[in-house]
Amino acid sequence: MDAVGLFRPYDQKTPTSEPTPAATPQPTVVAAPSGAAPKNRPTPTRQQAQAARMDAIHPKLTKRQASAQDRAAEEKKRLAQLQAADNQPERVLLRNHVDSRWSIAQFMLPLVLLGFAGSVASVNYPVISGAFIIVLYAFVVACIINCWWSWQSFKRELNQRLPHASTKGLVWMMITRMMSVPRMRQPKPVVKHGEAY
């Protein structure tokens, strides 16, 4: 046997190990976040993005929506002004002064309606109708005297508690509050009849 032939490369039974090619790095695929817009449109410019943000902050309204929004804003402003005016110390004192006392004027509205209905119902009886009218006028005069007396009493109390307070608008406020039924007065009474304040 030829000894040289044993060492020939083509006669060897063991296969030569072929170099394995280096693994090529695979490109990393980043998954698009859920809800992201597909990239089948051009990227908006800065001006377009700012315009979109402004539209979200200040949406374009129709004429009807704008007028309704303006009315709601005006109503809110008016209510805030009324609340600020009602919280003035002299007005609070006036409300408590009226609400803590019984007055003839608080029965004026129901009695006037009753007297008017009685005079109309007894139109065929002049004496009864005339009596209703006389009682009605007498009650109105009594209410006027009651309001005047209450105003004088309130002015004395106002001078004691709030010496430098203004009385502007308080006369009409007192008259309307005295003529209202206590349950229907606005703002709601916080003191009861005969209660100290």
Q: Which two tokens stand for residue 29?
A: 């695929």
- Residue in this structure with the two tokens 């129709």, named with its chain if needed: 62
- Write down the domain spans for the chain: 90-182
Residue 93, pLDDT > 70, answer yes
CA pair distance 49, 56, nearest whole angstrom: 11
184-188: list long-range contacts, CB under 8 Å, 24+ apart: 185/95, 185/99, 187/86, 187/95
CA pair distance 127, 114, nearest whole angstrom: 17
Give alpha helix (H) positions in 29-62: 46-57
User: Helix 126-161 and helix 108-121: axis angle, to 10°?
Assistant: 170
Q: What is the pLDDT of residue 151?
A: 95
Max intra-chain CA distance, the chain: 164
- What's the predicted TM-score (pTM) here? 0.59
Q: Which residues contact 61 (CB under 8 A, 6 or more apart)?
A: 69
pLDDT, tens digit, for every residue of 44-60? 788 777 777 766 676 77
Q: What percentage of the chain exceeds 70 in pLDDT?
A: 78
Q: Is residue 158 within 8 Å of residue 167, measured between CB atoms?
A: yes
pLDDT, tens digit, for every residue of 117-146? 887 888 788 888 888 888 888 988 999 999
